Structure 1
């Protein structure tokens, strides 16, 4: 009796309390399967499958677990936070242990991604820019999806784009990092933070960079002006 993937419909492999799809690569807890597929498991006569359903209801399934950096990167890349809604923040914590070392685990637990980026920018703008770049690189082409672009550029990173303490080194980075410039100015989002970063070119005396960013923005279908 084949248990099918809720995403692509292909048969999946049952491994303990979890399932894995060999076709699309998706995976998850048995509880995430469609009701019809869970019903197959409960009706199956094989003892191993009956044990699997029983284990699903134990407290172990709901116990918090730590994710590796590669697992967190995969979640962010797929933009799938079913297993960890704080994957973006936790990825930054895992990837930049020195930058976050001044906070306790309890303090980090109280922060969201925006808090962590903004607070890091206040004391170490270069580290905050590296954090920003990691997230943008990890999510990749999904920056052309409005939900993803607005979450990052319109919310999580908005404070960094507005902060003059971060704007200076960020503008210097944009002079040589064309990919980062495109990620910020040609994603599926056009918001106040990007406009303020563009205007900061005047404050920091960067007319050539300002022209470069203008050209990028004007090629963005979401661009609606700098005012």
Structure 2
């Protein structure tokens, strides 16, 4: 697959002629089911490995402010990375989900301050919110994803929150999708469904490596 090493099978339930929205939902369903097979121990190990990889990315290493996220249980874990960034003085911003698709951000001050404020929502910091445009402070955005392909097409959770948030990003800031290794798809063989509003990412980080995308 054009240089991509995939350790486990890649779900790709996309049938030619399928509506884009339906294809996205089928992919989300299949990948979420696969993610659910990881044990708590495997998830903890993956989170530490992911922190090592992301800290090695030059843009992250040099960043003064990183916009990230607190992962849901089945997503690649982020807490080790968030704590490492905070400990070395990097400002870390996390999303705060307002009513509907309202976008806001708050500072990460430690895992003790994170709370799941509604069923199914990712943990959020409890400090003062900073406003939609706070993402313009970020040198790098670490974006959650269900999958990403080699064109930089990102498959998100389905709510469109990040695609809207990224429209406020300042020029030059990099967006890095975060997934498990088998969730990086070769666009030559298995392109991810793409809609007009989807914003492509610059790079992808997994628990085993990172790479630039597109180009």
Higher strand proportion (structure 1 or 2)? 2
TM-score (norm 2): 0.30
TM-score (norm 1): 0.29
Q: Which has the higher contact order (CA 8 A, sep 6+)?
A: 2
Q: Look at both structures and tell me which one has the larger radius of gyration over its CA atoms.
A: 1
